[in-house]
Amino acid sequence: MFVWNADDLDADQVEAIKQPGSVFLSACPGSGKTRTLTYKIALELSLLTTDKQRVVAITYTHRAADEIRERIEQLGVDTGQLWIGTIHSFCLEWILRPYAIYHPALKNGFGVINAHDSERAHEALCLQHGGGLRSFDCGHYFTPTGYVISCADWKRPKVDALLQRYWQELRANRQIDFEMILAYAHQLISDVPSISILLGSIFTIVLVDEFQDTKEIQYGILGAILKASKGQARAFIVGDPNQAIYGSLGGYAITSAELSRLSGVAFKELNLSKNYRSADRIVSFFENFNQLASNITAEGELKDFASVISYDCSTNRNALEAEIVRLIRYNIEMVGIPPSEVCIVGPQWPLLASMTRHLVTALPEYSFSGPGMVPFARDIDNFWYKLARIILTEASPQLYIRRNRWAGEVIAAFDLAGVNTDAITRKSLLRVSNGITSNVTDGLANLVECFNAMLPALGIDYTTYPMLTEHYDAFVESSQKRIDRLTADGVDAIADIATFRKVFDLKSGITVSTIHGVKGAEFEAVIAFGLLEGMVPHFNESDKVAAASKLLYVIGSRAKKNLHLISETGRRRRGSELYMPTDTLLACSFTYDLVT
């Protein structure tokens, strides 16, 4: 049985991990949620009694899945019987591909289009039939009983008609998108009960990370599997309801009672309320925005750090760049915070792109990175993305485990595409990759040159395999489009090979991110701007107080030492109306510091 050192975990974490039944765990920011989840998975893997059993963990992102798997491997636990990934990957691997024959829309074969292809199809339909619609108006998600369109009410009839055309085109081409993965998986689970029964007999436990971001249809899928197991499969559900900021995408923080009714599972409700990340002053600030009662205490080594928390609602937008530069220099040069521990947060990428352009020019001595500055989409299901990870990552002993796993995923993708992989091993694939070089400085051209050298070296002509060809076209086209957009915004370095290589680096340079993108991360200093009513919260939110509180809670809880909040003046909506500071932030009674 897996055991750990006495000082690895606190008493609350141990209690959650050792629970023999199902657990519904509410974990505050910085409470060691990921560590708890990691150790729980490691323990469950060590308790398996046959090679037919599986431990299943659902994460919100692929990056989180990779991080947890690597942590488990570093603990010396075999992950051969662990399946970990996003709900979309789970549905594809465990439901759609094995049981497509039972669904009329899937039985003759299907392909999954990526987000870029979906956006491109929306754009084309908007031009043809949209009547003023833009692709971002077409946001929607499926529920167990239908679908919800996310745009403003007055646009919904037009968007509905457009989506009907979009789905018709997909059916004609035997294609599905990411949202349809969930819809079809739920239909199969509902219509073919034997699927749930079989999966429920294989899975010993289903773990869900970030339950507050999970959609109703996802709860339905997992709940059906748990119920069909008739008590054989347990559940370990982890998250923080106060960070439920994906409501517009269908996410909501289910209660343990609701999930119990849905799954037939009795949950033990537990809490992690000790914050090991932030100073006490930071904790006392973001607790002002709790939507659900909690009693968080700072317990880490920074507990007594003299945090600086500032709020500026007087700086004009024309002076915003200079003020953020001043705050960056203050934290790095005066406080001694490393650049990689500084994060600039904004509510929308267009605002961040413009700000990043100015910051790169104003601070040439520092580098910048962030999810919005990635030159290609993180499409984990695209074959060439999988290969790019290996090519762009240094062949070092420290990264061997990670690259070895990625090599296995590339070989599995080859198999899926119909390539004979009998002569390809993980080691041989890595050996070929390590021997491929390019002196081209343009990132995309460099990557393409490496692709075109590596596949022949493996004895593969990818143009003879439809899936590889489709994925290649999608990867190159979407990357070029993203590069062109960012370059137009003034982020010229985005096209350099050095920027491409940073994508899979550990955190380096000053991070630039949206509020949603920074969720789950932590930094010694956080500088947030654009805290304006209509942005934080977004003008489409129905419950603006709750939405603003959750966003401010996320922003505040990312900071370990210092936190700087800015509601700049002079920013106008379309027309002449000025944006005003976020009401919820203005209403917060807190003694802020001056940064001189």
Q: Which pLDDT score, from 0 to 100, does residue 480 have?
A: 92
Determine if the peptide bond prior to 537 is cis (ω within 30°).
yes
Q: In terms of Cα–Cα distance, which of 238, 227, 236 is closest to 199?
A: 227
Best CA proximity match to 471, nearest among 202, 112, 164, 219? 112
Instruction: Please state, in angstroms and as integers, the Cα–Cα distance from residue 522 to each residue in 34, 263, 554, following that order.
Output: 13, 34, 10
How many Å separate Cα 543 from the centre of its chain?
Answer: 24
For residue 454, count other CB atoms closer than 10 A to its CB: 19
On whether the pTM is more than 0.85, the answer is yes
Tokens found for residue 351: 């605002």
Which DSSP string do the residues of 208-235 spell out, in sequence order?
A: ES-GGG-BHHHHHHHHHHHHHTTTSSEE
What is the distance between the alpha carbons of residues 461 and 53, in angstroms, rounded to a whole number?
38
Cβ proximity of 54 and 93 under 8 Å: no
Give pLDDT, residue 507: 62
Beta bridge mates, 538: 534
Give pLDDT tens digits along the chain (596 positions).
899 999 999 999 999 999 999 999 999 999 999 999 999 999 999 999 999 999 999 999 888 998 999 999 999 999 999 999 999 999 999 999 999 999 999 999 999 988 878 988 999 999 998 788 988 899 999 999 999 998 888 899 999 999 999 999 999 999 999 999 999 999 999 999 999 999 999 999 999 999 999 999 999 999 999 999 999 999 999 999 999 999 888 998 999 999 999 999 999 999 999 999 999 999 999 999 998 877 899 999 999 999 999 999 999 999 999 999 999 999 999 999 999 999 999 998 888 878 887 888 899 899 887 666 678 877 888 999 999 999 999 898 888 888 998 999 999 999 989 999 999 999 999 999 999 999 999 999 999 999 999 999 999 999 999 999 999 998 999 899 888 887 876 667 788 998 888 888 766 789 999 999 898 899 999 999 999 999 999 887 888 999 999 999 999 999 999 999 999 999 998 777 999 999 999 999 999 999 98
At residue 114, the pLDDT reads 81
Cα 428 from Cα 390, distance rounded (Å)? 13
Domains of the chain: 11-95+186-272 (3.40.50.300), 111-173 (no CATH), 280-374+505-586 (3.40.50.300), 383-501 (no CATH)
pLDDT value, residue 375: 84
Contact between 155 and 218 (Cβ < 8 Å): no
Bridge partners (DSSP) of residue 562 are: 525
The count of other CB atoms within 10 Å of the CB of residue 484 is: 12
DSSP E strands: which ranges in 250-337?
267-272, 274-275, 297-298, 309-312
Helix (H, G, I), strand (E, B) or coil at 496: strand
Pairing label, strands 267-272, 140-143? unpaired
User: Which of 262, 111, 77, 269 is closest to 181 using CA atoms?
Assistant: 111
